[in-house]
Chain A
Amino acid sequence: MTMDSDGNHTSVPGTLKKARLLLALLGMLTFLPLGLLSLDYGMRANNQDRESVRWMRQLDLSVPAFWPSGTGLRHPETRIRAVDRRHGPEWPITPADTAESGPPP
């Protein structure tokens, strides 16, 4: 075993040789995924949805295709306050959205 100028041991004794391997493994488990994630993040952090944004603009679409066609959230312009969509007359009328306008229900 050798020592540096401060008196610290600088070589690894035989019984701790496996520790070096384990430390390397733990380091790899930390820095390899971190490096790959940073690389991927740098490459596509803000352009992953660029193509979809371009098509949204080109086709003048109101809402992204997260929701299936035919549902109210996919076509919010079809939710018309004048049309009562309650399942029963005893149900309360949903308060109107103040940012939208149209004839009162």
Chain B
Amino acid sequence: MKVLLQRPLILWAVGDIQRTPLQAVLLFAAAASLTGLVAIVLVLGQALSLTCDRLMSSSPAVVVRRINVGGWAPLPVGQALMHVKSVPGVLNPRVRLWGVVQTDTGPVTVVAVPSKAIDGMTERPLRSGQALIGPGLMPASQPATMTLRGEQRLSLKVAGRLPAASAMATHDLVLVHPDDARNLLGLAPDQASDLALDVFHDQEVETLCADLNAAFPWPVHISTRIARQRRCQSDIAQRTSISALAFVPALLAMAFLVGALGIWEHNQRFLAALLKALGWDSADLIRLRMVEATLIGLPAVVCGLSCAYITLFRWDMTWVSQRLFGWSTMATRLRLNPGDAVTGMLLSVMMVGLPYLLTVAWTAWQSVKVDPADRLQER
């Protein structure tokens, strides 16, 4: 601070800001809100899609489902594993038991988990007749029983809740014992929903698909992680591109800001002429205007970025899933990664900061290049 106070130009610029407090406050508010708006629009899509990518990198590389003319058909576990093991390049084949069933509040995804699969991840092991529910299902105040309607109607005791921090994966999941899942989904003990497997490299998947198609004696539908990622990314891009409409008012606000700066600078011409007559040169005057603009603009940009950061990366952010992904019930708490924000934030600083500084420099140049005697005589 002492260093700054020893520089007369900075002190003079602060004095100038003090002389026009209302204009300075308006300029600060305009620059801050503009930066915040642009940052939210730029960072939202980027953070969502990178977080989604990272989550999906833990999903199975390939999912094989048995189908018939009506759509999905149950997969015979023994035969499916026998056939898939004959395909070279297939890693870690395992069957999955899951499906979508109805509850009183809407559809939920039921996933069967053997107790040992989630040992140490939940408070207590899961038994038949019990369910572990995702953080977005049923408020804690409601009775501890959940009725699921699939092939059968089943009332399960809610034995616990999945951690809130896992909401992006488990928001509306119901984890049940495999026996209960089979009853709900209408599967025999030797049947499963589908088959998941991994591969050494994602590049192998396309060639593996043909081999997998040929390996099974019934028609199958093969879904790859690459295709799933591509579809999710395109959906996120489509949904977040709507928010780019905010650029229209943002550009308008930027135009107003530039216009207001021009008018302000026009009014300052007399002062510039006076200072020039007192011995200041043009470079001093332009430097003074740039220092003034930086003193207002820098905190404004930082405040705008902070607002955008808090809006997007706070712990309990639900507005995005509510607005963008169409949740009608309790929306998913998104915990997007701030690490994905840096580029978007820097871009928004450039998008607002550069035109702002250029406008100030241009208008300052316009005001100093006139003859001070003429300007003083006009007054």
Contacts and interface: CB of A to CB of B under 8 A. Distances in A.
Contacts of A34: 302
B257 interface: no
B138 to A, nearest CB: 14
Contact of B220 (A36, A48, A102): A102
A93 interface: no
B55 interface: yes
Contacts of A59: 111, 113, 117, 169-170, 173, 175
A48 B338 contact: yes
A75 B228 contact: no
A101 to B, nearest CB: 4
Interface of B: 1, 4-8, 10-11, 14-15, 17-18, 48, 51-52, 54-60, 63, 65, 67, 69-72, 94, 96, 100, 106-109, 111, 113, 117-118, 121, 134, 136, 162-163, 165-173, 175, 194, 196, 205-206, 209-210, 212-213, 219-224, 226-228, 230-232, 235-236, 295-296, 298-299, 302-303, 305-306, 309, 313, 321, 325-329, 332, 334-339
A68 to B, nearest CB: 6
Rank and list the top 7 A-B pairs by shortest CB-CB distance, nearest first.
A70-B107, A29-B299, A51-B165, A65-B171, A52-B168, A57-B58, A45-B339
A11 B48 CA distance: 52
A99 B335 contact: no
B59 A80 contact: no
B24 to A, nearest CB: 9
Given A37-B305, A49-B55, A83-B71, A76 B221 contact: no
Contacts, number: 245
B326 A68 contact: yes
Contacts of B230: 97, 99
A69 B107 contact: yes
A12 B227 contact: no
A61 to B, nearest CB: 6
Given A37-B305, A37-B309, A100-B223, A78 B72 contact: yes
Given A34-B302, A76-B223, A97-B227, A68 B107 contact: yes
B299 A55 contact: no
Contacts of A9: 8
